[in-house]
């Protein structure tokens, strides 16, 4: 997660500075960037895109229960997010 933050903010702050502030090594960050995406991370990214498409296809009216139902209707097995606190 720290490496993702560094990567997202590298246009605003020097990478070495962020690594130092977050307590990670520059070589660790560089190794993370060179590593291929894991299968789980790729599956999560693809699922997020499908969820976005379902939500936009409903004219942004579907919440998580309806998006979940739509995914199940399409044969995709996913878990519901935990209920939000009031």
**Which DSSP letter does residue 18 get?**
H
Confidence check: pLDDT of 46 > 70: yes
- Residue 28 has what pLDDT? 97
Sequence ranges of the domains in the chain: 2-34, 39-73
Widest distance between CA atoms in the chain: 48
Residue 80 pLDDT class (50, 70, 90 cuts): low
* Residue position matching structure tokens 């009031």: 86
Whether the full predicted model's pTM is greater than 0.85, yes or no, is no
- 41-63 average pLDDT score: 94
Residue 31 has pLDDT above 90, yes or no: yes
Torsion of CA 75, 76, 77, 78, to 10 degrees: -140
Average pLDDT of every residue of the chain: 92
pLDDT for the residue 1:
87
Return the axis-axis angle of helices 64-73 and 39-57, rounded to nearest 10°: 110
């Amino acid at each position: 997660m720290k490496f993702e933050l560094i990567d997202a903010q590298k246009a605003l702050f020097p990478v070495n500075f962020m690594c130092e502030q977050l307590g990670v090594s520059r070589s660790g960050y560089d190794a993370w960037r060179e590593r291929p995406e894991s299968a789980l991370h790729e599956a999560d990214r693809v699922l997020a895109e499908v969820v976005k498409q379902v939500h936009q296809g409903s004219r942004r009216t579907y919440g998580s229960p309806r998006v979940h139902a739509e995914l199940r209707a399409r044969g995709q097995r996913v878990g519901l997010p935990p209920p939000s606190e009031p």
